[in-house]
A and B are shown apart, each in its own frame.
Chain A
């Protein structure tokens, strides 16, 4: 393996290990999952382009989050003016305060898996369908026999239940 490909493998390893945490960090600051996908692709590009500046013994996640932070805040500033987005100062506070460690995030996700299993199969599948990109939310709502408004209410309630459950599971 050449030095270049070795460096590339190291990048891939670091990125794949931390991608979930970085994605969650970006999502916390952006209004939609689609925006998050766009920004994440840009972040990956920038990280690779700047990877030469990264020291091998450095903290990849902190470095990557710093890059993501800059990308997101720039996006909010440039494209967020006419959109329903977090105010710049609020986004900065959240960016600074919620860079939680991966262990905690993973703990929550393990708990989430357990909590999802506690939903009825029908409700679990309905929830995940509403998060998938295959169907419009209107179609998911219709398949559940609810109006759009009632479906959003159901979503809110289910999220609250999951958050409570995750908190409970993590505290066990």
Chain B
């Protein structure tokens, strides 16, 4: 990831605070803390909390804790005379008399709403002028000190060790670089590529965007091209996919060659050589990055603790089957079947090459069986809403509405809601409605032992509530994108209108940082 993802930071801080961090995790934590002031502030907030909780747990006010230290001082014979002991006794009296100490004085019942606040404000970069910004990435790893500040690329050297990054320069030029690659951002219209492979997409607003290499200089005239700069001898191969690129002499700035669409060139130390065969393979497009990132994410997803179902929405030979890639485990509280597709049609998903199901009729759904009984559950899906036609619009709903059934759906206003039937959730936080027409990560987490239900959109808490009663959670037969209603129910039709291209279920309550991570890994792009 490109520097300091907040979710990774929180995970590492918690591991550190609990004495669980490995050497590798400590290295990552130190690196994140070294890189950003904001990370250090978050770290300090966690440690302040830890310190305060420890004092409260010890039943010590600040003064009492101090007196304990003073008693230790005495034990160490710093005070050996009677006057000192008298003074220590006075200190004890002083501490006791300071009845106004903060948490003693504030231990009265507060009568305001018992509501926990929504998440901290997002981590925003300072508004400074930057030459380029990071649009997307997949597995990007930079050399220490040779990466972007958050998503900002200022003038300077960048060394991508592995992965792929997509940058957009301030004037609109876009570069997709495959690691390993080393380049220098000069300003919003100039870059130097020491070595690496990249695709450039240059709109008219950035006409004249110039990339130099050890061997040549390329001035773009509004086009799309690939450039492959050899690490060893600095030779650079140019492949023009669209429009025209001028090659200039670095010393004289004279145009030495005009390269048109479908053509290629090779320069070594300023001298033209035999052009390589034209091809466009291995020059990643912006759209491919998300898919590459998701494929890696899907691979890593399977061992996720407590994962009982992962539907990646790969169209197979059997068009009516939605495959669950997780094999049933004896130890799991729930077992999830493959899905049977009724009516919903296969279409494209978040990226080209990714499948999804389109739900566009009242009788369209995927039937999935979730058998067993769980104390905790997390349901997460990637959805794109076309319309919200009904009072309730189902994401994943147990059939009917018996006690223990699980419902995860949206209101006509686009507010996520859900819970376990019979648990009677008392909401203490309701966030913003969902946007139509965008890919969104939505998730619901229920913990019966904690008597809590949380709902998240794009990793951010949007609804929180307390379960009023203990209830056995038994989702049973469910419909994705619809609901099999109870006869005579007033809100019978709950058909979802839009696309779904991923569904995952865990038999544990995922944490907020985990959901944020899922939302980030699966996002269509950073922008």
Q: Of B30, B40, B63, B69, which is in contact with the most chain A CB atoms at under 10 Å from its CB?
A: B69
Per the bound structure, the CA–CA distance linking A102 and B74 in Å amounts to: 27
Which of chain A's residues has its CB closest to B76's CB? A45
B33 and A132 within 8 A (CB)? no
Report chain B residues within 8 Å CB of A130. 57
B450 and A123 within 8 A (CB)? yes
Report chain A residues within 8 Å CB of B21. 84
Per the bound structure, the CA–CA distance linking A63 and B331 in Å amounts to: 57
A165 and B117 within 8 A (CB)? yes
| Contact flags B164-195 to A (C-beta < 8 A → 1, else 0) | 00000000000000000000000000000000
Chain A interface residue count, CB cutoff 8 Å, equals 80
B318-326, B486-494, B505-513: which lies at the interface? B505-513
B44 and A90 within 8 A (CB)? no
Report chain A residues within 8 Å CB of B78. 45, 48-49
A32-40, A52-60, A67-75: which lies at the interface? A32-40
User: Among the listed A98, A117, A132, A168, which residue makes an inter-chain contact with B110, where contact means beta carbons less than 8 Å apart?
Assistant: A117
User: Among the listed A8, A15, A23, A156, which residue makes an inter-chain contact with B55, where contact means beta carbons less than 8 Å apart?
Assistant: A23
| Contact flags B507-527 to A (C-beta < 8 A → 1, else 0) | 011011100000000000000
Check: B123 CB closer than 8 A to any chain A CB. Answer: no
Interface residues of A in 123-172 (CB under 8 A from B): 123, 127-133, 137, 144-146, 149-150, 152-157, 159-169
Which of chain A's residues has its CB closest to B112's CB? A114
Per the bound structure, the CA–CA distance linking A146 and B67 in Å amounts to: 37
Interface residues of A in 53-94 (CB under 8 A from B): 84-87, 89-90, 93-94
Check: B51 CB closer than 8 A to any chain A CB. Answer: yes
B56 and A116 within 8 A (CB)? yes
Per the bound structure, the CA–CA distance linking A21 and B57 in Å amounts to: 17
A48 and B73 within 8 A (CB)? yes
Known: A28-B44, A128-B56. A13 touches B94 (CB 8 A): yes
A112 and B10 within 8 A (CB)? no
Check: B116 CB closer than 8 A to any chain A CB. Answer: yes
Known: A19-B65, A20-B55, A131-B54. A94 touches B72 (CB 8 A): no
Chain B interface residue count, CB cutoff 8 Å, equals 78
Per the bound structure, the CA–CA distance linking A94 and B47 in Å amounts to: 11
Interface residues of A in 1-49 (CB under 8 A from B): 2, 4-5, 8-9, 12-13, 15-16, 19-20, 23-24, 27-28, 31-33, 36, 40-41, 44-45, 48-49
Report chain B residues within 8 Å CB of A150. 508
Known: A5-B84, A98-B40, A160-B512. A84 touches B47 (CB 8 A): no
B62 and A16 within 8 A (CB)? yes
Check: B126 CB closer than 8 A to any chain A CB. Answer: no
Closest CB-CB distance, B16 to chain A, in whole Å?
Answer: 7
Prevailing SS type, chain B contact patch: helix
Report chain B residues within 8 Å CB of A166. 49
Which of chain B's residues has its CB closest to A146's CB? B449
Check: B45 CB closer than 8 A to any chain A CB. Answer: yes
Interface residues of A in 103-123 (CB under 8 A from B): 105-106, 108-110, 112-118, 120, 123
Per the bound structure, the CA–CA distance linking A162 and B86 in Å amounts to: 41
Per the bound structure, the CA–CA distance linking A32 and B84 in Å amounts to: 32
Check: B340 CB closer than 8 A to any chain A CB. Answer: no
Check: B390 CB closer than 8 A to any chain A CB. Answer: no
Check: B232 CB closer than 8 A to any chain A CB. Answer: no
Which of chain B's residues has its CB closest to A20's CB? B62
Known: A108-B48, A160-B511. A118 touches B116 (CB 8 A): yes
Known: A28-B47, A31-B19, A94-B44. A44 touches B72 (CB 8 A): yes
Check: A101 CB closer than 8 A to any chain B CB. Answer: no
A19 and B63 within 8 A (CB)? yes
A-B residue pairs in contact (CB < 8 Å), sample of 23: A8-B83, A9-B87, A12-B70, A20-B62, A20-B65, A23-B65, A27-B48, A48-B73, A84-B19, A86-B29, A90-B40, A98-B44, A114-B106, A117-B109, A118-B114, A132-B58, A133-B58, A144-B449, A153-B511, A156-B10, A157-B512, A166-B49, A168-B117
Lowest 4 CB-CB distances: which A-B pairs, in order? A168-B117, A20-B62, A131-B57, A19-B66
Residue positions of A touching B, CB distance < 8 A:
2, 4-5, 8-9, 12-13, 15-16, 19-20, 23-24, 27-28, 31-33, 36, 40-41, 44-45, 48-49, 84-87, 89-90, 93-94, 97-98, 100, 105-106, 108-110, 112-118, 120, 123, 127-133, 137, 144-146, 149-150, 152-157, 159-169
